[in-house]
Chain A
Amino acid sequence: MDNKNPLSPHIQIYKWHISSLVSISHRITGIINIVAITLICIWVSLLVFGEANYDLINFLLNSKLGKFIVLSLAWSFSFQILSEIRHLIMDMGYAFELQTTRVTGLIVIFGSFILTILIFFIGKNYI
């Protein structure tokens, strides 16, 4: 039987709003996070093979690229956390007013950068 459900309209036909930016970024960061978590699973599994096989991974993680990837991942996680909290608040029936959705969207965008810095400082024991 043919599926008569309508598909989601293509994103380029709409004028961009804060909410649409947060929504598409939520999906993109979700995909990035699951790919990264899969790589982390491989990283953890490789620990079984001992220290001799860890040199290359250690070299990569200590390079500028490695640091950039971890910092980017901290931002991607921060964005997901804040965006997911926004979703949960909206699921409870709050914050649907147009102006409020703009404000909460901006909180997610700017808050994700602040949270990334905070995560880095806590992770590195600076605070």
Chain B
Amino acid sequence: MNLSTKKWIFLKISSIIIIPLMFWFIINLVSIYDKSYFEVLKFFVNPMNKFLFSLFIIFTYFFSALSISEVFEDYISDEKIKNVANRLLLISAIIIPLLTIIFLFKLNL
């Protein structure tokens, strides 16, 4: 199996996982975004919400990194620029969810 096939399979698996998580998150975002600090905090402190939100951001960034790298493949011809762009994408797809999860698990009422 070549790299492109593996990427495609990972892309499809992650998309199947994020569809229900996107549904779950956007409904909850609509329900809490305009609430007070404590109500928002209460939502993110809940262990089930913590777990689902962590899954949501991990898979979303993973999916985005794979799909945005496809866009780079389609529109960037310079190999050096494409490699730098892909590396930056990969680093941000690891660092942003990791930092958020660290902060998320520091939250308490």
Contact = CB atoms under 8 A, between A and B. Distances in A.
Given A73-B26, A88-B15, A119-B26, A44 B74 contact: no
Contacts of B67: 30
A74 B100 contact: no
Contact of A51 (B12, B23, B30, B38): B38
A70 B29 contact: yes
Interface SS of chain A: helix
A63 to B, nearest CB: 10
Contacts of A62: 34
A33 B21 CA distance: 13
B34 A67 contact: yes
A7 B19 contact: no
Query: For this complex, into which size category does the number of interface residues on chain B fall?
Result: 35 or more
A34 interface: yes
Contacts of B104: 44-45
A7 B74 contact: yes
Interface string A1-34: 0110101100000000000000000010011011
Contact of A66 (B23, B33, B96): B33
Interface of A: 2-3, 5, 7-8, 27, 30-31, 33-34, 37-38, 40-41, 44-45, 47-48, 51, 54, 58, 61-62, 66-67, 70, 73-74, 77-78, 80-81, 84-85, 87-88, 91, 119-120, 122-125
Interface of B: 12, 15-16, 18-19, 22-23, 25-31, 33-34, 36-38, 40-41, 44, 53, 57, 60-61, 64, 67-68, 71, 73-77, 79, 96-97, 99-100, 103-104, 106-107
